Structure 1
Amino acid sequence: MHTIRLKDDYIKLGQALKAAGVVESGVDAKFAVQDGLVKVNGQTETQRGKKLVSGDKVEYDGETIVIE
Protein backbone atom coordinates (compact mmCIF):
# COMPACT_ATOMS: atom_id res chain seq x y z
CA MET A 1 0.00 0.00 0.00
CA HIS A 2 1.19 3.49 -0.86
CA THR A 3 0.29 6.65 1.02
CA ILE A 4 0.32 10.12 -0.49
CA ARG A 5 0.16 13.09 1.86
CA LEU A 6 -1.47 16.11 0.30
CA LYS A 7 0.41 19.40 0.20
CA ASP A 8 -2.58 21.21 -1.32
CA ASP A 9 -6.33 20.58 -1.17
CA TYR A 10 -6.17 17.80 -3.78
CA ILE A 11 -4.00 15.83 -6.20
CA LYS A 12 -5.07 14.72 -9.66
CA LEU A 13 -5.43 11.00 -10.33
CA GLY A 14 -2.65 10.84 -12.95
CA GLN A 15 -0.27 12.68 -10.63
CA ALA A 16 -1.12 10.33 -7.76
CA LEU A 17 -0.37 7.25 -9.86
CA LYS A 18 3.02 8.70 -10.80
CA ALA A 19 3.82 9.88 -7.27
CA ALA A 20 3.11 6.43 -5.85
CA GLY A 21 5.38 4.86 -8.47
CA VAL A 22 2.75 2.49 -9.86
CA VAL A 23 3.21 3.95 -13.35
CA GLU A 24 6.41 5.28 -14.87
CA SER A 25 5.06 8.27 -16.75
CA GLY A 26 2.07 10.50 -17.32
CA VAL A 27 1.45 8.67 -20.59
CA ASP A 28 1.25 5.33 -18.75
CA ALA A 29 -1.17 6.90 -16.26
CA LYS A 30 -3.29 8.29 -19.10
CA PHE A 31 -3.68 4.91 -20.79
CA ALA A 32 -4.31 3.04 -17.52
CA VAL A 33 -7.13 5.44 -16.65
CA GLN A 34 -8.59 5.60 -20.19
CA ASP A 35 -8.61 1.80 -20.39
CA GLY A 36 -10.73 1.60 -17.20
CA LEU A 37 -8.03 -0.13 -15.15
CA VAL A 38 -8.10 2.33 -12.23
CA LYS A 39 -10.67 2.43 -9.43
CA VAL A 40 -11.27 5.34 -7.08
CA ASN A 41 -13.21 4.47 -3.93
CA GLY A 42 -14.33 1.23 -5.57
CA GLN A 43 -15.65 2.83 -8.78
CA THR A 44 -13.92 2.62 -12.16
CA GLU A 45 -12.58 6.08 -13.04
CA THR A 46 -11.89 7.22 -16.60
CA GLN A 47 -10.87 10.84 -15.95
CA ARG A 48 -7.15 11.26 -15.45
CA GLY A 49 -7.72 14.75 -14.04
CA LYS A 50 -10.11 13.58 -11.30
CA LYS A 51 -9.32 15.47 -8.12
CA LEU A 52 -8.48 13.23 -5.19
CA VAL A 53 -8.87 14.49 -1.64
CA SER A 54 -7.95 13.18 1.78
CA GLY A 55 -9.62 9.83 2.44
CA ASP A 56 -9.78 8.72 -1.20
CA LYS A 57 -8.49 5.24 -2.09
CA VAL A 58 -7.12 4.35 -5.52
CA GLU A 59 -6.64 0.81 -6.81
CA TYR A 60 -4.54 -0.14 -9.83
CA ASP A 61 -2.75 -3.33 -10.89
CA GLY A 62 -3.01 -4.91 -7.42
CA GLU A 63 -1.69 -1.77 -5.73
CA THR A 64 -3.60 0.49 -3.35
CA ILE A 65 -2.91 4.19 -2.90
CA VAL A 66 -4.40 6.05 0.06
CA ILE A 67 -4.66 9.84 -0.03
CA GLU A 68 -4.07 11.63 3.28
Structure 2
Amino acid sequence: MIEFKVTGDYIPMIQLLKAVNLVQTGGEAQIVVTEGEVMYNGHIDYRKRLKVKKGDTVEFRGETIRVI
Protein backbone atom coordinates (compact mmCIF):
# COMPACT_ATOMS: atom_id res chain seq x y z
CA MET A 1 0.00 0.00 0.00
CA ILE A 2 1.18 3.49 -0.85
CA GLU A 3 0.35 6.27 1.58
CA PHE A 4 0.17 9.73 0.04
CA LYS A 5 -0.04 12.84 2.21
CA VAL A 6 -2.12 15.47 0.48
CA THR A 7 -1.35 19.12 1.10
CA GLY A 8 -4.44 21.27 0.93
CA ASP A 9 -7.98 19.97 0.55
CA TYR A 10 -7.49 17.58 -2.40
CA ILE A 11 -5.33 16.42 -5.31
CA PRO A 12 -6.71 15.75 -8.81
CA MET A 13 -6.72 12.05 -9.72
CA ILE A 14 -4.34 12.55 -12.65
CA GLN A 15 -1.80 14.38 -10.49
CA LEU A 16 -2.03 11.69 -7.81
CA LEU A 17 -1.20 8.91 -10.26
CA LYS A 18 1.81 10.89 -11.47
CA ALA A 19 2.92 11.85 -7.94
CA VAL A 20 3.18 8.22 -6.82
CA ASN A 21 4.93 7.23 -10.08
CA LEU A 22 2.28 4.79 -11.31
CA VAL A 23 2.19 6.58 -14.68
CA GLN A 24 4.86 8.48 -16.56
CA THR A 25 2.83 11.42 -17.89
CA GLY A 26 -0.42 13.29 -17.41
CA GLY A 27 -1.53 12.03 -20.80
CA GLU A 28 -1.05 8.44 -19.73
CA ALA A 29 -2.97 9.15 -16.52
CA GLN A 30 -5.90 10.58 -18.51
CA ILE A 31 -6.01 7.50 -20.73
CA VAL A 32 -6.03 4.96 -17.89
CA VAL A 33 -8.76 6.90 -16.06
CA THR A 34 -11.02 7.24 -19.12
CA GLU A 35 -10.54 3.54 -19.94
CA GLY A 36 -11.81 2.54 -16.50
CA GLU A 37 -8.55 1.14 -15.13
CA VAL A 38 -8.72 3.16 -11.89
CA MET A 39 -10.91 2.38 -8.89
CA TYR A 40 -11.86 5.17 -6.49
CA ASN A 41 -13.18 4.09 -3.08
CA GLY A 42 -14.04 0.65 -4.45
CA HIS A 43 -15.75 1.76 -7.68
CA ILE A 44 -14.47 2.36 -11.20
CA ASP A 45 -14.41 6.10 -11.86
CA TYR A 46 -13.95 7.75 -15.24
CA ARG A 47 -13.58 11.37 -14.07
CA LYS A 48 -10.17 12.81 -14.97
CA ARG A 49 -10.57 15.85 -12.74
CA LEU A 50 -11.83 13.89 -9.73
CA LYS A 51 -10.79 15.54 -6.46
CA VAL A 52 -9.15 12.91 -4.26
CA LYS A 53 -9.33 13.86 -0.58
CA LYS A 54 -7.97 12.62 2.75
CA GLY A 55 -9.42 9.22 3.64
CA ASP A 56 -9.95 8.16 0.01
CA THR A 57 -8.40 5.08 -1.57
CA VAL A 58 -7.39 4.63 -5.20
CA GLU A 59 -6.56 1.26 -6.77
CA PHE A 60 -4.61 0.93 -9.99
CA ARG A 61 -2.65 -1.97 -11.52
CA GLY A 62 -2.48 -3.92 -8.27
CA GLU A 63 -1.43 -0.94 -6.16
CA THR A 64 -3.57 0.71 -3.50
CA ILE A 65 -3.03 4.36 -2.65
CA ARG A 66 -4.39 5.62 0.65
CA VAL A 67 -4.63 9.39 0.87
CA ILE A 68 -3.79 10.75 4.31
TM-score by shorter chain over 0.5 = yes
Query: How many pairs align?
Result: 68
**Structure 2 CA distance for aligned equivalents of residues 3 and 15 of structure 1:** 15
* Alignment of structure 1 residues 1-68 onto 2, 5 Å: 1-68=1-68
Q: Which runs of 4+ in 1 moved over 3 A?
A: none
**Structure 1 CA distance for aligned equivalents of residues 12 and 53 of structure 2:** 9
**Structure 2 CA distance for aligned equivalents of residues 17 and 4 of structure 1:** 10
RMSD value, Cα: 0.6
Unaligned runs of 5+ in 1: none
**Structure 1 CA distance for aligned equivalents of residues 2 and 16 of structure 2:** 10
Unaligned runs of 5+ in 2: none
> What secondary structure does 1:14 align onto?
helix
- Identity %, equivalent residues: 37
